[in-house]
Amino acid sequence: MKNDLCKKAAILDPTACIHCHKCRQQCLFLDKYKIDIGDSDRLRELAYHCFLCGRCSEVCPKGIDGRGIILAMRQEEIRKNCNKLTQKGYGMLLFEKEDYIYKNYRRGKKKSVIFPGCNYPSFYPKTTEKLAAMLLESADMGIVYDCCGKPVAELGLEKKEEKILSGIESRMRECKVEEIVTLCPNCYHYLKPKIGIKLISIYEKLRELGIGRKLSGEFPVFLPCPDKEPKNLYKDIEFFIDGDIKEANKAQCCGLGGCACVKEPDLAYKMACSMKENEGQVYTYCATCAGNLERKGCAPLKHILNEIIGSDERAAIKNSMLNRVKTKFI
């Protein structure tokens, strides 16, 4: 299966590694086990310990796609086990997301729909509804609640991934949707090359409709993993910034990438806490990052979409699961 989780064409051959250790120097996971992205045998044993953040690929002088290699190793393990996941600790994730139990398409019978993903409506329920009402009134847009399937795909479950993707596209076509507008960078980068319906970011849509305020001042931004290298959404956001936008402390990941926190909780915590080194206000445009970083005490942190549409809602870290359940019934 083609690996679309890494956006640029790169080398998927670990034997191209020259063992310069640049990847190890930039990755807490590789450093912990004193290995490079070319150490295939050891990596295969530790495939589910990798955060799939792509930092190794960013710094590799040979252009090796470490994320793609690790994902391929996970997929290989699944195939060897008759398409079953034998790794422990992912039962609840699969129960919720294999056939997303909170999906809701009742308000999706429109040509253009908001696709907020799992975590934005979980952490920002009031802003989700504010945005939905705003875009319904101004552009007759609907909203659907579903999971893009990326967490399941990152476990290497190709068959389940295919079923999830075909289900999303089928439901969208039943609703006669012609355009999907994502709020989440993970949904955007994961779904865009995989689904046969036009897909754009919320920032592109707001610009098209002339909605959203210009923001002035300094904007240190924590970049979510899937957008760090292509910066598609980051570039869309620049339109709304009259001040100085720059990348904040180069934390490797918020700690939730690749479902690796199950295997490496200490590393996940360390990654999140590295953001505490920043002084002053930090922004992000990923609700998953925002929620996890706030849980780890990395305040003050704000979601930049909320700022653009004039919402002061903070991540609802105590009620996020309850908010997610509610999306099934609204």
Tell me the C-alpha distance between 120 and 128, whole Å.
7
Tell me the C-alpha distance between 53 and 31, whole Å.
14
Predicted pLDDT of residue 274: 85
Angle at 59 between CA 58 and CA 61, to 5 degrees: 115
Predicted pLDDT of residue 8: 46
Taking domain 96-208+318-326, whether its CATH number is 2.30.110 is answered by no
pTM, rounded to two decimals: 0.94
Predicted pLDDT of residue 275: 82
Predicted pLDDT of residue 7: 40
* Fold designation for 14-80: Fumarate Reductase Iron-sulfur Protein; Chain B, domain 2 (1.10.1060)
Which regions of the chain are under pLDDT 70? 1-9, 277-279, 299
The per-residue pLDDT for range 171-216, each reduced to its tens digit, is 999 999 999 999 999 999 999 999 999 999 999 999 999 999 999 9
3-state SS of the chain is CCCCCCCCCCECCHHHCCCCCHHHHHCHHHHHHCCCCCCHHHHHHCHHHCCCCCHHHHHCCCCECHHHHHHHHHHHHHHHCCCCCCCCCCHHHHHHHCCCCCCECCCCCCCEEEECCCHHHHHCHHHHHHHHHHHHHHHCCEECECCCCHHHHHCCCHHHHHHHHHHHHHHHHHCCCCEEEECCHHHHHHHCCCCCCEEEEHHHHHHHHCCCCCECCEEEEECCHHHCCCCHHHHHHHCCECCEEEECCCCCCCCCHHHHHHCCHHHHHHHHHHHHHCCCCEEECCHHHHHHHHHCCCCCEEEHHHHHCCCCCCCCCCCHHHHHHHCCCC
Tell me the C-alpha distance between 308 and 293, whole Å.
21
Output the CA–CA distances (angstroms, integers) from residue 12 to 3, 8, 15, 18, 71, in the order listed. 10, 12, 9, 14, 10
Query: Could you tell me if 191 and 166 are in contact, meaning their C-beta atoms sit under 8 angstroms apart?
Result: no
Query: Could you tell me if 311 and 120 are in contact, meaning their C-beta atoms sit under 8 angstroms apart?
Result: no
CATH 1.10.1060.10 positions along the chain are 14-80
CATH 3.40.50 positions along the chain are 96-208+318-326
Tell me the C-alpha distance between 306 and 285, whole Å.
9
